[in-house]
Amino acid sequence: MARKMTREEREAFLAEPRVGVLSVAGEPGRAPLTTPIWYRYEPGGDILVMTSPGLRKTRLIEAAGRFALCVQEQNGVYKYVSVEGPVVKTWPMTKAERHAVAARYLPPGVSDAYTDATDGTHGSNIAIVMRPERWNTSDFSDLAEQLA
């Protein structure tokens, strides 16, 4: 049977560079918006996502004042962490901040080129920071070990 991760396990898992799936309440009568997103997290801290101002995603997060993020591992043993919480701050990102997020996902050199190449389209990106409030986790490692 799948087990819940400990606090330390879930925070370490979330801190790894995974593409997250962000969900936020949709407009009345519409489904929630769910979209992949790069994020940054350090154990015990808040979750930062970057996005462009004016997008539907950004407007919905502003209206709801909160969002959820889910990350998973499907190579090998299946695990996931989902977390939900309120937005605690936002700000216009600097180029260095955008590069720090890109560097989690892209190799050295490529992250520099990406940051430079997207100055025109993503230079106005904003950071949206969520304070984790509710967690849900699942880890099938124990089951896989029993079957091995």
pLDDT tens-digit series, residues 72-85: 997 778 899 999 99
Tokens encoding 74: 């499907």
pLDDT band for position 145 (50/70/90)?
low
Q: Is the pLDDT of residue 115 over 90?
A: yes
- Which DSSP letter does residue 125 get? -
Give tens-digit pLDDT for 12-62. Answer: 999 999 999 999 999 999 999 999 999 999 999 999 999 999 999 999 999
- The pTM (predicted TM-score) of the whole model is 0.90
pLDDT of residue 122: 81
Question: Do 86 and 14 contact (CB within 8 A), yes or no?
Answer: no
3-state secondary structure of 73: strand
Q: Name 143's Cβ contacts closer than 8 Å, sequence gap at least 6.
A: 1, 2
Query: How far is it, in rounded angstroms, from Cα 96 to Cα 62?
Result: 24
Span of 5-9, 64-68, 75-79, 90-94 with lowest mean pLDDT: 75-79
Nearest to 10 by CA among 99, 72, 98, 95: 72
C-alpha distances in angstroms, 89 versus 16, 36, 101? 22, 21, 17
Question: Do 77 and 37 contact (CB within 8 A), yes or no?
Answer: no
Question: Do 66 and 84 contact (CB within 8 A), yes or no?
Answer: yes
Tokens encoding 116: 């430079």
Number of neighbours of residue 72 by Cβ within 10 angstroms: 15
Within the chain, how many helices (H) and strands (E) appear? 6, 8
